[in-house]
Structure 1
Amino acid sequence: MRQPDGKKTGTEKFHKRRETIVRAAVEVMNRRGVRGMTLADVARRLDLVAPAVMYYFKSKEELAATVYYRSIERYEQLIATAQDAGTAREALEIFVRAWFEFSAAVTTGEADPIAGFNDIRALPDPGLGEAFIRMFRSLRALLEKPGMPTDLDRVDYNARTLFVLSQLAWSVVWTPRYHVDDYGRLAAHTLDILENGILPSGKSWRPRSLQVTPVETDKTSAARETFLQAATLLVNERGYLGASVQKISEHLNLTKGSFYHHLENKDDLIVACFQRTLDILQRTLKESGNSANNGAEHLLVACNALTEYQLSGKAPLLRTLALTSVPEEIGSRLLSEFDRNSGRISLVLTDGIADGSLRPVDTSIGAQMITAMINAAAEVHQWAPGVTQQNVAKIHVRPMFEGLMRSG
């Protein structure tokens, strides 16, 4: 309510400034994660001092929780647009198109961006976890509508819900490469793959086995691999800023001096961790293609091997979303490396389309979706209890190839 002279009330000013702080915090959190964000960082974006932000939020944890609650609320609003749909296919289309419309609005400045959920577990707020689970269940309810295969159980539905969420989260990385006017087409191509997969109808699911093995073999390299595995686990769990040299050393029951025997500094460690992940991805793609009869078999074998490796009990692959919190000079270079890997997947997709073993799909988007699928495999067992190394391919990978609407 405004005063007769047109001036804003104190309450209005308070809420306006609070919203401005939340928007600035989203930018910082998406760049540095919860652990890397400080109230001073947020204040600097607004030409304020930290105490000015503390007037509205007593701690960075309170501010971060507010940001995440807003993100969850936005997802709930997008999900609600599809709640009245009669079938799962119709609901999925409405929801995914609503997401890309929202992404376009963010790009043009017509809507506020939201934070990714990378570090949501870093906050000691039980209400936040409960809110996220409610949102997850709301999305799952869309997939449980009529039209889905009748042989799916709760594990399948949870895994497919995570699959959709992971694809939307990763789309934030690749959609900015396109013109905002084309976001509607991006939604259509994404939906085509989500619903129908990349295998032609009737194509049999018979991937052969491939063992993913570390590159290192000698004792010195094996010790370095141990450090990289420990660091990878901590970076995936805590982000770049939360995985300190001290924490990594404690995880291995070693001294910091032992760490520096193998690596000079933390940034070298992060680069080495990402290089380890890239080496595994590239080597697996190469080996799966050595004896493949066509593009489909090439991708099937590689994707199955990589997702099974994620649940093998060894250190999983480093989550690509961890790139959002590394120093910019490192992150941009590593993102380029991951782009090259996606480019390789795109080429295999093109080969498969040419030889008839794969459906004609957008290969660039398909490659990004496969990247997101491989990444999400590391946490699918947390959201779908019952997923193991033995069945993760059937439950998590198969929907990528056959589509969400086909039987599991």
Structure 2
Amino acid sequence: MNTSPAQTTKFADKREALIASASGLLNERGIRGTTLSAVAEGVGLIKNSVTYYFRRKEDLAAACYLRSIDLYNRLTDEAMAQAGMPARLGALLRAHAQVLAAVEQGLHAPVTRFHDLRALRGEHMAPVYAAYEDMFRRLRRLLNDEATADRSAANARTHIVLGVVNAQRVWLLRHEPERFGAVADSMLGLLLRGVMASGARWQAEGCELRWQLGSADLSPSAAFLRTATQLINEQGYRGASVNRIAERLNMTKGGFYYHNETKDDLVACCFDETFAIVRQALAQAEQEQVSGWERLSAVLRALVLFQITPDGSPLLQWSAVPTLPDAAERSRIRQALGRIGERLASLVVGGMVDGSIRPLDPMQAAQLAMVGINAAAELQRFVPGTTPQAAVELYVRPLLMGLE
């Protein structure tokens, strides 16, 4: 029997409504915390009705991610019509800000963020990852004028901008929706020109050479923290199962529970360890008798290098926060992140006072710094074989001094 146009339209409309409902839930709870029942409730259906459109939760999650990728590709392609990298990047950030403003005003469906993308499993991994990598390449073309023909430099710059785009909603929510476009222009200025005042100068290394980050703890507890952090960064909260953590440490599942009450407790400890390391860097920077610019750049160099040197360890990516199952724990972690942002902003204000950092929104500069610290955990993925010296030159320098 043939399907009428009305039936086809009704099916498509309901499918779009399910994707919109699921997108909001994925942003709040991640894949693990999103259920088909909750998605169905959001559109006035029962759970069994959802399976007519999406057989499994993973099918729906993949559709949400692909929808977001399609949106970013469209915005990037439209921005490519502008002449020159600065104009193209500005067009992209403003267009994305307009979409996010429409979401806040209830005029556009939620846009699925990519913080839990690594939790996808099975048949959906390959097509969604391939689409994400294509999105990365499109963004690289948008940024890649002749001056950035070097592939490693182009990848590092693209990684910075993609981190900003992924985090754009977070820092825009400090403002009213009608101000989103103006705030996007302000972030564009930061990305293009950096934070350094005209009289300051760039250094590839500085006071951070005297600092000690982390600890030499070789206990089983420390090993669990490092391994769990690596796995969550690689595979998401859901993918970093107890079995996988134990297997990487060459122990049994029973051995895991001998040292840890639950996986959730271990993840909370991973966040605490990450924050402790960031606070170490901030505390040591605050004691240095140097300019605010030198303090800020030293913090960025120290925390990026800590994550990519052989003796270092990745910091747990803050994008994992929404995937935590406990609401109180999510609130605690977000409060800690907010305090770290305030301390970074304080370094920026100090630099503005002493004239080493140009006048700008200090909280926005702090958020850019946090994006850079967070995204450094994936730097080796996007810029394979990165050495510490290359990371400073190709990643930290443009992050602080701008892409122009």
User: TM-score scaled to structure 1, two decimals?
Assistant: 0.90
1:267 aligns with 2:264: yes
* Partner amino acid, structure 1, of 2:167: W
- Conserved 8 A contact 1:35-1:242: no
Look up the match of 1:325.
323
Look up the match of 1:64.
61
Partner of 2:389, secondary structure, is coil
The one of 269, 285, 297 aligned to 2:282: 285
Deviates more, 1:373-382 or 1:385-394: 385-394
Partner of 2:352, secondary structure, is helix
- Conserved 8 A contact 2:196-2:357: yes
Look up the match of 1:128.
128
Look up the match of 1:213.
213
The one of 227, 248, 253 aligned to 1:251: 248
Alpha-carbon distance in structure 1 between the residues aligned to 2:40 and 2:107:
23
* Partner amino acid, structure 2, of 1:296: W
* Partner amino acid, structure 2, of 1:95: L
* Partner amino acid, structure 1, of 2:277: I
1:17 aligns with 2:14: yes
Look up the match of 1:342.
341
Alpha-carbon distance in structure 2 between the residues aligned to 1:350 and 1:283:
20
Look up the match of 2:84.
87
* Partner amino acid, structure 1, of 2:242: V
Alpha-carbon distance in structure 1 between the residues aligned to 2:276 and 2:319:
18
Point out the structure with the larger helix share.
2
The root-mean-square deviation of aligned C-alpha atoms, in Å, is: 2.1
* Partner amino acid, structure 2, of 1:325: T
Alpha-carbon distance in structure 1 between the residues aligned to 2:359 and 2:34:
43
Look up the match of 1:361.
360
Q: Structure 2 vs 1, CA of residues 47 and 251 (structure 1 numbering), >3 Å: closer, same or farther?
A: farther
- Conserved 8 A contact 1:230-1:315: no
Identity across matched positions, percent: 36
Look up the match of 1:157.
154
* Partner amino acid, structure 2, of 1:339: G
* Partner amino acid, structure 1, of 2:356: S
* Partner amino acid, structure 2, of 1:278: F
1:12 is displaced (CA, Å) by: 1.7
* Partner amino acid, structure 2, of 1:40: S
Alpha-carbon distance in structure 1 between the residues aligned to 2:216 and 2:336:
21
Deviates more, 1:18-27 or 1:344-353: 18-27
Look up the match of 1:4.
none
Alpha-carbon distance in structure 2 between the residues aligned to 1:311 and 1:45:
42
1:394 aligns with 2:370: no
Look up the match of 1:75.
72
Alpha-carbon distance in structure 2 between the residues aligned to 1:137 and 1:202:
36
- Conserved 8 A contact 1:235-1:242: yes
- Conserved 8 A contact 1:295-1:355: yes
- Conserved 8 A contact 1:310-1:316: yes
User: TM-score scaled to structure 2, two decimals?
Assistant: 0.91
1:259 is displaced (CA, Å) by: 3.1
Q: Structure 2 vs 1, CA of residues 158 and 167 (structure 1 numbering), >3 Å: closer, same or farther?
A: same
Deviates more, 1:204-213 or 1:277-286: 204-213
Q: Structure 2 vs 1, CA of residues 239 and 180 (structure 1 numbering), >3 Å: closer, same or farther?
A: same
Alpha-carbon distance in structure 1 between the residues aligned to 2:248 and 2:293:
40
* Partner amino acid, structure 1, of 2:351: G
After superposition, where does 1:83-232 map in structure 2 within 5 Å?
A: 83-121=80-118, 122-123=120-121, 124-125=123-124, 126-145=126-145, 150=147, 153-201=150-198, 203-206=200-203, 207-208=205-206, 209-210=208-209, 211-215=211-215, 217=217, 222-232=219-229
Alpha-carbon distance in structure 1 between the residues aligned to 2:168 and 2:93:
11
Alpha-carbon distance in structure 2 between the residues aligned to 1:305 and 1:268:
28
Q: Structure 2 vs 1, CA of residues 104 and 12 (structure 1 numbering), >3 Å: closer, same or farther?
A: same
Q: How many residues matched?
A: 393
1:216 is displaced (CA, Å) by: 6.0
CA deviations on 1:353-407 (whole Å, 9 max, x unpaired) are 10011111110111011001111111122112242333211111111211011xx
1:260 is displaced (CA, Å) by: 3.6
* Partner amino acid, structure 1, of 2:350: D
1:230 is displaced (CA, Å) by: 1.1
1:52 aligns with 2:49: yes
CA deviations on 1:65-114 (whole Å, 9 max, x unpaired) are 21111111110121122111111111111111111111111111111121
- Conserved 8 A contact 2:97-2:180: yes
1:212 is displaced (CA, Å) by: 4.6
1:316 is displaced (CA, Å) by: 0.5
1:186 is displaced (CA, Å) by: 1.1
Instruction: In structure 2, list runs of 5 or more residues that go unmatched.
Output: none
- Conserved 8 A contact 1:36-1:241: no
* Partner amino acid, structure 1, of 2:213: T
Instruction: In structure 1, list runs of 5 or more residues that go unmatched.
Output: 1-6
- Conserved 8 A contact 1:309-1:389: no
Deviates more, 1:201-210 or 1:314-323: 201-210
